[in-house]
Amino acid sequence: MSRNTNEFCTTTLARVLELLAVPQMLCRRRSCRRMGRCRRYFPSNGEPCCMRNLNAEQRALVEAIHNKTSMIIYFGRAKTELYASEWSDMRDLEDAAVEVARCVCPDWSRKTFNAFLRARAKAPPPEFEGDMVVPPALLRPRP
């Protein structure tokens, strides 16, 4: 991550890494493997130390979940977007981000976040397999 991260980003990234079991499965640091948590970060940019064990593809996945988590925390409150994609791959990513958001949601927005979770739970399961290639509206028969 080239930009400087704040404390919220450091915490969110650490929770994403833990969700993906990076401290246990990939990190070379013994304390990470034993505790299953990433507690150290680089003071220069706030990046959790476990991030250094990832290749470019793994790093992109972590950052995608992190970005989606931030969107859920900040925009999920409006309840205009449920982050429940019709595409199964995107839904998997959104489900992971919701689990991270559940851990990092600030107390002051817990009530609205819980309302978001209840609304999201009513969303239908993904309609399409895989990742979005063509917008779903174009696949539906037109009247």
Contacting positions for Zn ion (CB under 5 A): 27, 29, 32, 38, 49-50
Estimate to the nearest angstrom the gap between the alpha carbon of 112 and the chain centroid.
18
CA distance linking residue 120 with residue 135, whole number of Å:
21
Which residue's structure tokens are 């493997």? Answer: 33
**Least separation, in Å, of the C-beta of 93 and Zn ion?**
23
Nearer to Zn ion, 27 or 101 (CB): 27
Nearer to Zn ion, 29 or 102 (CB): 29
Q: What angle do CA 7, 58, 19 make, to 5 degrees?
A: 55
Which residue's structure tokens are 């990832």? Answer: 54
Q: What does the DSSP 8-state code read for residue 37?
A: S
Nearer to Zn ion, 52 or 110 (CB): 52
**Least separation, in Å, of the C-beta of 114 and Zn ion?**
31
**Least separation, in Å, of the C-beta of 49 and Zn ion?**
5
